[in-house]
Structure 1
């Protein structure tokens, strides 16, 4: 495995050693990789099928059990120090703010408190905190690679390890969902944390987000090795303050409600996974145009996931790539997400040498696009994308601030404590 490197591990251990005065040999390190979602975009919150894998970049959290109830955290990327106790009762952010609860000056500390909230809500008994330092792969926050989920998973694993708790990956998927849905009030699904916790090197992770069933699909040896390109847009914040994440979830639910009512199943929860494909085909004409597009994305994306697993299992990268590109197009046309710079970047990637397929990484309102590429042509593809994007979006290209506009990555492994 190419990540974390020895130098990265040494740096995070030395940071914790300076905080605590303890030897670097006593420092434990959580490795929480970022994820990509080749297929299964925007359907996890509807109980759809998704595929994912991790990459060789992510979050490192060095820590030592505190020996008392205190949590003390620093960040390699952000200023300030986060301090609280594990015996403090945590409330969802909205509730805490209404009650006039004190806020950390360091906003990055919310995920640490959220991890404590999730464990408290799940009746886990925490007797000691941690002293630690967290660090993310340079420049990859806000990139659509699930850095927030990786951070949440890292804090969960550290607190559990410090308290000698035995927790399964599927339990931690639920705990990380509690951080994001319960504590932070987000309406995202479970794709991100599932990929981070369940992936295995060399495998494509499949998950049914309705049943929580999952499996690892190992490919036979490919005819040619591949790499994963991450092409950055320079957009670190959405161009609008309300890009519509929650609105699209609501539209999917409304589409499900119409279809279930039309088929005499109105008592079922209005999520699209409860709508049989035959019901969709029989009643799709009853949907308003916007709702019809959302439903079409859901059902077609589910089909692409199934076909993608077959292509991966047979070692057919060409077919796998075509499905990824089709997913990207449906995200634009049917789910109607994606800022213009990201859409242009997606189109540029499709023309790059050696690229099998491309799509947004994340929702497409900021961050980057991903592509699967022939390993031998990865450098040429990266150079092509850099040059073409500078022509198409010179202002956003400048915002990359000297960072690499395109990263060449490899597949990663699951989150773990070293």
Structure 2
């Protein structure tokens, strides 16, 4: 199971590592290993616009997160990571509660958050997963939405082993539940929408007020050229070297609050006090 095309060399090397790790952890055959692939994304327009109901633009890139997994024999979840130390162990029939202290957020939180989101949406989870998750070294917490990629990967794995058929649109809301309700980050739908709805060779436009996507294709090149990786532009990712774990930082939520306060003042001035306090409602 996969969402997009990855860099071929990266994918081949990482898939081999991920599958072998799952075999090592689980004792299962390599042919039994399933893989969820979730890309990172860039957004030419998006910061602090999605949670205000705005129109954002996004593209996925050909690097991302791979989660190799097999169904566990019971409700246990057992996970290891290529980027973080330790082993996660918990059960999908344990009731997950939102994190009340951001300092307690770690890489385990996203797996528990996926269980929380599914539990609170009424889905029946009976089976856990045994798995190994790996991203690209140095790109976690780098602004490419690695957290959303991780959250969606866990959702897809849990849905797969529990025979749940859930649409991309519903998975966007489930990932939003991980971030908003479980982790306490008040972001919008840009990141999961980009990961789940983007199409190869085009720019995704997402109206965050109506949650409806549209696409702009790069028509300057033929479809066959685009499939060969030839696009009429190049993307430069300039990494500052600073990494930010947004749920642990108060700055992002502070800016969301400031946007809502600005919306409240503008709506009041325009006589629309009854509308929800998001900036898009003032236009």
Deviation, 1:233, is 1.2
Alpha-carbon separation, structure 1, partners of 2:238 and 2:150 = 22
Write the distance in 2 (CA, Å) between the matches of 1:16 and 1:40: 36
Q: What is the correspondence of 1:8-407 to structure 2 with a 5 Å cutoff?
A: 8-94=14-100, 107-222=106-221, 225-237=232-244, 244-276=251-283
Give 1:58 shift.
0.7
Alpha-carbon contact 2:102-2:183 (below 8 Å) kept:
no
Provide the aligned length of Structure 1 versus Structure 2.
267
Tell me the SS of whatever aligns to 1:94: coil
Cα deviation, 1:257-296, whole Å, max 9, x if unaligned, reads: 11111121101111111112xxxxxxxxxxxxxxxxxxxx
1:126 CA drift (Å): 0.9
**C-alpha separation between the residues in 1 aligned to 2:138 and 2:101?**
32
Could you give the per-residue CA deviations for residues 322-378 of structure 1, whole angstroms, max 9, x where no partner exists?
Answer: xxxxxxxxxxxxxxxxxxxxxxxxxxxxxxxxxxxxxxxxxxxxxxxxxxxxxxxxx
Looking at structure 2, the residues matched to 250 and 165 of structure 1 have their Cα atoms a distance apart, in angstroms, of: 36
Counterpart position of 2:227: none
| Residues 203-255 of structure 1: CA deviation (Å, up to 9, x unaligned) | 111111111111222220259732211111122258xx966212221121111
Please report the TM-score for the alignment, with normalisation by the length of structure 2. 0.89
Q: Normalising to structure 1: TM-score of the pair?
A: 0.61
- Relative to its length, the structure with more helix (as a share) is 1
Residue number in structure 1 paired with 2:226: none
Distance of 1:69 and 1:161 partners within structure 2 = 14
Structure 2 distance, partners of 1:146, 1:23, is 32
Q: Distance in 2 between matches of 1:95 and 1:177?
A: 19
Q: Measured at CA, do residues 164 and 60 of structure 1 come closer, stay the same or move farther in structure 2, by a change above 3 Å?
A: same
CA deviation string 1:12-45 (max 9, x = no partner): 0000001111111110011010000012332101
Distance 1:23 1:244 in 2: 46
CA shift, 1:95, in A, is: 8.3
Q: Which stretches in structure 2 are left out of the alignment for 5+ residues?
A: 223-230
Residues 231, 95 of structure 1: CA spacing in aligned structure 2 closer, same or farther, 3 A cutoff?
closer
Contact 2:58 2:203 in 1 (8 A): yes
Residues 116, 229 of structure 1: alpha-carbon distance in 2 compared, 3 angstrom cutoff: same
- Match of 1:186, SS state, is coil
Q: Which runs of 5+ in 1 are unaligned?
A: 98-102, 277-418
For the pair shown, which has the larger CA radius of gyration, 1 or 2? 1
SS of residue in 1 equivalent to 2:45: coil
